[in-house]
Structure 1
């Protein structure tokens, strides 16, 4: 059996309310499907632009300065996401809406993301492009914080590996959809942004009707104070060491992963010499997606069955690092195909099992949204740091070989630190 040393059931003092109670009943397929679709829409909105559209728009504004423009835009957007995740998570924790705690914030986040994508399609300058991408990041990360918190709200620990795998499947399908949109529009990034906006809205709608969110009674909502609100974003690593180590390992693995994917379009274009780099990104993403889907579902279920999380997280992190080394030392189309497949194998299992592990080290049921928002900073902060690291590595410090070797080393550090987590096997 999976260890149930989760701190979510300890010390809440309010766990008798349905919205805060540790779940014990397995969720239905229709609920799971609606969560998967939200993840599809959010990740199509994220990765269509990140993988191709923003790069194309950067080239449109200035071919010689494309790397710098892309680093500026993605870094600024990721900085916004650092705030959006815990902030929206906190708002959803405290929401007294009759639709439940999470639904209103999934809706508001998707709406803001859609407005930003529509604006990007007509952005007249790099400054406007940056501001609008920040709006997309604000909205999509807000929706992501709310939908992520819905999982520990509704899913029992014994089912979280499986549901984490399916949610990860939605993530990967969204990434693939984003790449497909970018390839289909064939350089017309304005049309690509419009299609990403449609995907975001379409993915969100089913959850609005199928969420079955429990309503938080006013008596169960903690009293609000600005000092408590602000200080709540700091979760003491001394008091909650397992939460801290989980954050660090996710942060490092994501830094490595973003270093691998950030300049993929430019890598195919400039290092590999692939004739149609947008189409190449689609092929690599498709291969990556197939492998990720397979290992996410299998890895999540297997970790539930075995009752252990850490060996899967360590192994998958090491495989992700291996993918980066393949790209570093085999900068060919064949090497890119092998690297994409290996990356998918590692990242699929990592997404499913690491998410299940994290839900077992949350400090409190009353603040799941905020706490997972803080965890999601470990997804967002690498988007700020990766461009800062990648730009000089590619332009003045050895190019893509250096970039991918650094990515591999950082990812391996993430695997090493998983062993520090004590309350989960």
Structure 2
């Protein structure tokens, strides 16, 4: 029996899969409410009218720290061979530093806490991402990706919950987030007990020629995710401004509801797509289809400002793009584990894949500044649609290569 067949027949327990999905959702809850709402509130308290500029510095510094820490702690978890310990230490550090934010009396102190928090967050997330590769067989990676789609929705729901008027003050909100993160992540560390599959911990490469051949799908998967993440980062940062360029009456509450709907609706779609990929043995095909659909949505968004029913077309285009991109990113996270050839470097290599999450946030503001004043938001959406089509092409070739290999 081949290793591919053995992995296809192997099954991880539902208990571990569900606990892992809960922990992955907890990792999203650890940063989404904090970075989108709670940190800006604290920065405004300390910086006053200079809050936007200072928040930009904090976000930039945090993204750099996150990029380095994710690679570093992924490598450390590879080297030590004990991912659970690193996840636990990162969890404790994350919770502790969240609760230290109110103690910062100046921007320098707040920056130090943010950098420490980013280190702790990635100390938890990098080994947690690699842990799935150690214990989830290829035949369940589509299901894993579907379950991971709960994470963005969980982050958005928690943000809405902690900001309910009258529920809690700024400091108490941090306590609520910390408690939820602890409740989500700790169970998999205590009760996970995954079934072990030795074939998942063995390197697949036999020699230099095979190493070069195995690197091609990895590079294509990395580039495809980067292309889609650039589009996702642009829409995350400028969605409200873009809607208002079409209709000035659009409110931030309406945009938040649309965003929440997309994240929630993407969960069942990701689960269905992931299960189909497992059963059909076509792990990359849903990714290519999602990238193509995302390009269609972005194309509709590019045309929205030039038609009479612009707002309706803009809304439809964004929903199409948002659903496709959310499903894409969830399934991509799990299927990436399939193409990484070196089990002993899995955490480090996933850290390099994590750069596709942080780099777009660093380059997107400059790209927008260069394009929007000259070509408008329509030009930006057209460029993003082209990037999504590039991702589709890269993934189509990756899927064919994996079929030939198997």
TM-score with structure 1 setting the length: 0.76
1:178 is the counterpart of 2:164: no
In structure 2, what is the equivalent of residue 204 of structure 1?
185
Deviations 1:213-259 (A, max 9, x none): 689xxxx999xxxxxxxxxxxxx877612211111111221121111
Match of 2:386 among 378, 394, 409: 409
Q: Deviations over 1:104-137 (max 9, x none)?
A: 1211222222233223345444444444333333
- Per the TM alignment, residue 61 of structure 1 is displaced from its structure 2 partner at its CA by 5.9
Say whether 1:88 aligns with 2:73: yes
> RMSD in angstroms over aligned alpha carbons?
3.8
Match of 1:103 among 79, 84, 104: 84
Cα distance in 2 for residues equivalent to 1:187 and 1:325 = 42
* Structure 1 gap ranges (5+): 10-21, 223-235
Indicate if the aligned counterparts of 1:53 and 1:193 stay in contact, CA closer than 8 A. yes
Task: Name the counterpart of 1:226.
Answer: none
Tell me the equivalent position of 2:348: 370
2:100 matches 1:119: yes
Cα separation, 1, equivalents of 2:44 and 2:303:
27
Q: Given that residues 169 and 296 in structure 1 are in contact (C-alpha distance below 8 angstroms), is that contact kept between their aligned partners in structure 2?
A: no
Paired with 2:380 and 2:109, the residues of 1 have a C-alpha distance of 29
Counterparts in 2 of 1:53 and 1:320: CA distance versus 1, 3 Å: farther
| Shift in alpha-carbon separation, 1:323–1:134, aligned structure 2, 3 A | farther
Separation of aligned partners in 2, 1:187 and 1:237: 55
Q: Is the 8 A contact 1:314 1:415 kept in 2?
A: yes
1:370 positional shift: 1.9
1:327 and 1:122 mapped to 2: Cα distance?
44
SS in 2 for 1:27: coil
Q: How does 1:120-199 map to 2 (within 5 A)?
A: 120-121=101-102, 123-182=104-163, 189-199=170-180
- The residue aligned with 1:261 is 236
Structure 2 alignment gaps of length 5 or more:
204-210
- Contact 1:39/1:174 (<8 A) preserved: no
The equivalences for 1:246-395 within 5 A come to: 246-264=221-239, 273=248, 277=252, 279-326=253-300, 330=304, 337-390=315-368
**Alpha-carbon spacing, 1:32–1:49, altered in 2? closer, same or farther (3 Å):** same
Cα distance in structure 1, aligned partners of 2:183 and 2:176: 11
Change in CA separation of 1:199 and 1:374 when aligned onto 2, cut-off 3 Å = same
- SS of aligned partner of 2:129: helix
- Structure 2 distance, partners of 1:244, 1:330, is 34
Alpha-carbon shift at residue 200 of structure 1 (Å) = 1.7
Is the 2:229–2:357 contact (alpha carbons within 8 Å) kept by the matching residues of 1? Answer: yes
Change (3 A) 1:169 1:182: same
Which of these residues, 77, 90, 101, is aligned with residue 62 of structure 2? 77
SS at match of 2:282: coil
Partner of 2:396: 419
Taking the aligned partners of 2:401 and 2:267, their CA distance within structure 1 comes to: 28
Q: How far is the alpha carbon of 1:161 from its aligned partner?
A: 0.6
Query: In 2, Cα distance between the equivalents of 1:29 and 1:117?
Result: 31
The count of corresponding residues between Structure 1 and Structure 2 is 387
TM-score, scaled to structure 2: 0.80
Shift of 1:316: 0.8
Question: SS at the partner of 1:424?
Answer: helix
Q: For residues 259 and 300 of structure 1, do their structure 2 counterparts lie closer, same or farther at Cα, with a shift above 3 Å needed?
A: same
289-298 or 262-271, larger mean C-alpha shift: 262-271
After superposition, the C-alpha distances for 1:307-343 in whole angstroms (9 at most, x for unaligned) are 1133321221233344445555558875665355323
What secondary structure does 1:308 align onto? coil
Distance 1:276 1:259 in 2: 19
Deviates more, 1:321-330 or 1:26-35: 321-330
Which stretch of structure 1 is more off in the superposition, 306-315 or 287-296? Answer: 306-315
Per the alignment, do residues 46 and 338 of structure 1 end up closer, same or farther by CA in structure 2, a change over 3 Å counting?
farther
- CA deviation vs aligned residue, 1:390-411 (integer Å, no higher than 9, x gap): 45656x5566555544433333
1:245 is the counterpart of 2:230: no
